[in-house]
Each structure stands twice: as structure tokens, then as C-alpha cells.
């Protein structure tokens, strides 16, 4: 990998299993899924009535004015950024804002605003739509809001690659820092899809688990009885920083974002390429860019959604890219705990990957009482596994066939 080294110096996870690095880590180790009956709207007439929802602590909730002029997705992003900045010990008031960028991934943008606007249009006509409709629903609103809120005027952009958006944001941020375009980037993803519009949309695709009576048991990546993913809201922001910038301000690097690989399936708008060959290539490219051999990967944070097709294709990809290592490298699927937060997921899981490096422990995949024998991976289950972790592969695969593999290492 050419250019400046890129370190992770702060973590801001905002997830159903925990808000803040400490709570998120503890929630992962507890290994219990946070999926629950939907409370954000009345889902009683929907075929899917469960989701992962975030309970923001009082101090991270948006102020009244902020709540009125931004969508839920931006509230989650703002909370994640706040946590990440605190964790990194980076004070926006004293930072050179011109050298700080923001990149966020999102699959759906402001879905509540979008939905409310469409309803208003139908009910009241063109003048029924509020003046805030566009600025609250547009996909780039969250990244722009963070820039405005903190005075960060370096490169500010948004990656809209569905379930790989969060990982793509980290790649974009890496490129900004490696090339010298920015010294620090707030990078991550945010998603707030727990609306009747989005839950119905995904349910109509038959993509979601309908295990409404057992929410905690619904997200079951790599299980023999997996039957779809569980939609989730959430956000995660990581502070990425050039190694020299971190050193100069005395910041402690938690990990290095060492490499990445990206490919496209060029196959189907939502179904993964069954042989996982393009996803495998993303992993291979990521390893090469990190300068690592497959055997040097000590843990895989899988995309692991719990759909029949994703998990099978991902297992095939790992076998193809890692060879015999795929049989014994410990794998975990964070989505078994959080549900699938789409454009936030890649960033949420990058946080989880960093934490495995820091704590030298791989959290379990929940609900894996009966692993699918066709998967053929060592998926950690039932309890956390203490293990030596020096390099983690984190996968994100998306509707649209976007494959993004990240490699994170000890600093």
C-alpha cells in the first residue's frame, strides 16, 4: 500500500447491542442478540415486526432544534461522531478543521423524512411537503451535518453502496489520508431504516427473517436454519488519522487500516454471485494491498447476514481466497447480535474488528446452535474465544454486487 499509513484512533459505535466502545464490546462478548419487536412505528400489520433498534442515551440525543431539522439517520451519525471524537481525544475546537474530512456510508439516507414527504405529497399535494424535505432525506445529509456541526471543512462525501457503504467510507477515508488530502477523517456509516417503508420493502423481497415470535433468535448467520436477515438501525464513526498526525498530537493508535480490496459481482442486482469468486478477489486484493499472506490473517469478521445465499457465497469466497486457512481461522458474524444496519454495518464491524485486536478475543456468533455443515468455516459460537489476533479481515458485500474487504492490524 503506497502513501501515508492510516491509523484508527477513535471508535464511536451506536448499535442495538451497545452505544459507545465499552458497551458495544461488552454487548458482543455477552453474545446475545438485541433484535426486538419494533417500537419505532406500529408494525402490527407488517409481515416483519422485528428489528434492531438503538436506544440513544439522553446525553447523545439530538437537541430539539437538531431533531427538527435532521432525520433519525443523522441523529445516529451525530451520536457516533461525538463518541468517536471523545474516544480519540480530538477536540474539534482546537483541530485544524481544513485538514479534517468526513465520509459516511448510508444505504437509504433519511428514510423517515423520505417516507413522510411521500405521504404528505399524496395527502396534501405539492405544497404539503416541508421545506426541510430535501435536506433531511438526501443521502449526504449526515456527512454534511457532521461537517457543519464540528467545522470540518476538508473533503466531505458519502458512499452509497448499500450494505458495503460503511466499508467503502473507510476506503475513501484511507485514500484521503494516504494521498495527503486530509490528515484526519471521521469515517463510518449510518442507517435508520426502521420505518414502515423500508421494512415493507425488504420484506417484499423475502430478504428478512419472519421469526416475529422469537426476535432474539431471528438473526442466525451461518446456521442450518437461517432464513433471512434482520433489519437494524445504527451508526459507527471511526477517527482515522495519518500515523504522523496521531504521533504529533500524542494520540494512541488502536489499529492500522492496513489495506483494502474492492470488486464488483457484475452478476445480479441483489443476488450474490453464487461461487463467491468476485468476493474472493476482493479479499485477495485486500491482502495484497496490506502486504500480508493469507496465513497472516488471524480472524475474519464476516459479512454474515443470515440469508441462505449470502452466507454460502461468503464461505465459498473465503475458501477460495484463504485456502486451507479458511477451515481454521476464527470467524464471527456481528450481525447475529446487531441485525443488519446496511450502510452502517461495514463501519460497525470495523469497530468490532479493532476491538478484537485490542482485547485479543473474538466475540461469539449468536443463535448458532446448528451450524450449516455446508459452510465449512470455524465460526465462533456460544462464548467468546481468547485468541491471538494480529490481523483481521472484515468483509462487506452488498446489494448491487459491491464487495469490500478491509484488513486491520495491530498498530
Partner 1 sequence: MNSTAHQHLVDVLADRLGLEPEELTPDARFREDLGLDSLDLVELVSALENELGVPVTDEVALSLTSLGEVVAQVDALRATASPAAEPAA
The footprint of partner 1 (CB under 8 A) covers: 63-69, 124-125, 127, 130-132, 135
Nearest CB to partner 1, comparing residues 145 and 229: 145
Nearest CB to partner 1, comparing residues 67 and 248: 67
Nearest CB to partner 1, comparing residues 65 and 388: 65
Phi-psi region of 352 (alpha: psi -120 to 50; beta: other; left: phi over 0): alpha
Q: How far is the CB of 113 from partner 1 (least distance, A)?
A: 13
Active site residue 108: no
Q: How far is the CB of 387 from partner 1 (least distance, A)?
A: 48
Q: How far is the CB of 86 from partner 1 (least distance, A)?
A: 25
Burial of 374 (0-12, 13-18, 19+ CB in 10 A): exposed
Nearest CB to partner 1, comparing residues 131 and 266: 131
Q: How far is the CB of 116 from partner 1 (least distance, A)?
A: 13
Nearest CB to partner 1, comparing residues 67 and 205: 67
List beta partners, residue 186.
102, 239
Distances from the Cα of 75 to the Cα of 15, 116, 132, angstroms:
13, 17, 15
Burial of 330 (0-12, 13-18, 19+ CB in 10 A): middle
Q: How far is the CB of 64 from partner 1 (least distance, A)?
A: 5
Query: Which listed residue (34, 163, 257, 368) is catalytic?
Result: 163
- Catalytic positions are 163
Amino acid at each position: 500500500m503506497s502513501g501515508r499509513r492510516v491509523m484508527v484512533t477513535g471508535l464511536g459505535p451506536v448499535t442495538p447491542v451497545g452505544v459507545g466502545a465499552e458497551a458495544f464490546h461488552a454487548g458482543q462478548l455477552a453474545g446475545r442478540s438485541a433484535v426486538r419487536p419494533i417500537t419505532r412505528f406500529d408494525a402490527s400489520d407488517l409481515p416483519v415486526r422485528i428489528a434492531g433498534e438503538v436506544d440513544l442515551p439522553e446525553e447523545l440525543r439530538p437537541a430539539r432544534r437538531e431533531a427538527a431539522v435532521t432525520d433519525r439517520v443523522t441523529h445516529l451519525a451525530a451520536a457516533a461522531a461525538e463518541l468517536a471524537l471523545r474516544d480519540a481525544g480530538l477536540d474539534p475546537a482546537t483541530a485544524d478543521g481544513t485538514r479534517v474530512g468526513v465520509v459516511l456510508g448510508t444505504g437509504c439516507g433519511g428514510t423517515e423524512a423520505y417516507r413522510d414527504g411521500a405521504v404528505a405529497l399524496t395527502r396534501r399535494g405539492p405544497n404539503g411537503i416541508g421545506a426541510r424535505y430535501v435536506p433531511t432525506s438526501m443521502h449526504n445529509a449526515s456527512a454534511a451535518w457532521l461537517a457543519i456541526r464540528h467545522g470540518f471543512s476538508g473533503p466531505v462525501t458519502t458512499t452509497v453502496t448499500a450494505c458495503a457503504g460503511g466499508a467503502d467510507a473507510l476506503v475513501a477515508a484511507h485514500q484521503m489520508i494516504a494521498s495527503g488530502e486530509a490528515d484526519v477523517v471521521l469515517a463510518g456509516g449510518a442507517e435508520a431504516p426502521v420505518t414502515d417503508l423500508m421494512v415493507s420493502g425488504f420484506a417484499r423481497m423475502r430478504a428478512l427473517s419472519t421469526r416475529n415470535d422469537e426476535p432474539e433468535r431471528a438473526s442466525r448467520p451461518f446456521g442450518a436454519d437461517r432464513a433471512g436477515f434482520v433489519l437494524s438501525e445504527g451508526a459507527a464513526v471511526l477517527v482515522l488519522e495519518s500515523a504522523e498526525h496521531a504521533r504529533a498530537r500524542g494520540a494512541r493508535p488502536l489499529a492500522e487500516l492496513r489495506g483494502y480490496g474492492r470488486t464488483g459481482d457484475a452478476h445480479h442486482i441483489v443476488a450474490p454471485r453464487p461461487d463467491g469468486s468476485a468476493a474472493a478477489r476482493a479479499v485477495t486484493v485486500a491482502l495484497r494491498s496490506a502486504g500480508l499472506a493469507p496465513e497472516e490473517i488471524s480472524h475474519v469478521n464476516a459479512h454474515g447476514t443470515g440469508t441462505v445465499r449470502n452466507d454460502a457465497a461468503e464461505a465459498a469466497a473465503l475458501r477460495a481466497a484463504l485456502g486451507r486457512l479458511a477451515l481454521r481461522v476464527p470467524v464471527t458474524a456481528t450481525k447475529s447480535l446487531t441485525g443488519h444496519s446496511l450502510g452502517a454495518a461495514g463501519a460497525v464491524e470495523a469497530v468490532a474488528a479493532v476491538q478484537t485486536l485490542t482485547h485479543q478475543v473474538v466475540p461469539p456468533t449468536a443463535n448458532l446452535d446448528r451450524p450449516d455443515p455446508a459452510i465449512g468455516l470455524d465460526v465462533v459460537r456460544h462464548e467468546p474465544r481468547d485468541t491471538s489476533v494480529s490481523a483481521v479481515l472484515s468483509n462487506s458485500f452488498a446489494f448491487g454486487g459491491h464487495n469490500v474487504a478491509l484488513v486491520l492490524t495491530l498498530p
